[in-house]
Amino acid sequence: MIQNLYLHLYHENNFIRRVKCLSLSLDREVYTPYESASAEFLSSGSDCDNIDRIGIYLDNTCIFLGLVDTVRQYHRQKASFVRIQSRSFTSLLTQNELAPGLHSNLTMASLMTDFYQFPAYITYENLSGTGYIFVKSGNTMWDGVVSFGYKLTGHYPYILHNHICLSAPQAGTSAEFQQNQVLEYGTVTDTVRLISHYHMEDISGTPDVYQQENASASAFNIVRHKQISFDSSFLHSPDEALTFRNLYSRRGCESRYLIYDGFQNEMLGQSVTFGTHIRNETVCRVRSTFGKDGFRTRLDCYHDGFYNLP
């Protein structure tokens, strides 16, 4: 069944109009600090005047809310079209830099409110506990969130719509797919980001005081050494700076995926099962497209340092 897909267009929090969506691509991924969408609709001539926000609705359910990045208006076969590229409001966290230096005695609430005033659409998991971040020149708010969140929970933060999740996803009821539902399934191995050895100087600048090998890279016969300066974000435990980098370099290095016709609005962190190929594994990426024939969705379950550990 082809469901009704609509765009809600806004300007300065004022609703302008609703338009029917002709095509859509939607992407959610655990290591990307925002969701992204590209949507196309027929233009009436004034649809795009000062649009700064869109909502995408499947029937009456909002599946995306974000800022407008680009608007393209074009004409084809005597019809006028508009394509909007958008990212969720959490993309703002990557566009605002923090003042360099040590910021201590922080809570998640103070991190999110003391430095900049973000739109209320951005919410966060307000765990108890205090911590610190050390900001280098050019570090963004998202860098601060990652540093604070990892030290608090041991997990890499991820985004659900416009909500910042600090904790690792909790196992829940698994959505189960049958053989006749799945168009394609398979595995992916991606070693491009793997670093085999990290070397870090100590606080006085002496090189190679801290070292760590990445067994995942060595298993692929990869030799990539990376030298880094002392990371003051881990003053309490310098070795943890290398552990974090090793885990992050493994992101998405192995995954299992499936593709099916349809859209169930799967969330990052949700569990899925498909026969013996995917057994109650955490969804780490959701890519959905919509066109004249309806929806098609791909689900990826990573096997890396943070997700679906053996």
Three state DSSP letters for 133-178: EEECCCCEHHHHHHHHHHHHHCCCCEEECCEEECCCCCCCCCEEEC
State how far the Cα of 82 lies from the Cα of 302, in Å rounded to an integer. Answer: 35
State how far the Cα of 2 lies from the Cα of 201, in Å rounded to an integer. Answer: 58
**Given pLDDT bands bounded at 50, 70 and 90, which one contains residue 46?**
low
9 pLDDT more than 90: yes
* Contact in structure between 281 and 308 (CB atoms under 8 Å): yes
State how far the Cα of 249 lies from the Cα of 252, in Å rounded to an integer. Answer: 9
2 pLDDT more than 60: no
| Residues across the chain | 310
217 pLDDT more than 90: yes
Which is it for strands 163-165 and 182-189: parallel, antiparallel or unpaired?
Answer: unpaired
State how far the Cα of 160 lies from the Cα of 164, in Å rounded to an integer. Answer: 7
| Tens-place pLDDT, residues 247-283 | 999 999 999 999 999 999 999 999 999 999 999 999 9
DSSP label at residue 180: G
For residue 48, the model assigns a pLDDT of 72
Computed over every residue of the chain, the mean pLDDT equals 95
State how far the Cα of 87 lies from the Cα of 54, in Å rounded to an integer. Answer: 10
Q: What is the dihedral of CA 76, 81, 85, 86, to 10 degrees?
A: -170
For residue 173, the model assigns a pLDDT of 73
State how far the Cα of 250 lies from the Cα of 306, in Å rounded to an integer. Answer: 9
**Given pLDDT bands bounded at 50, 70 and 90, which one contains residue 298?**
very high
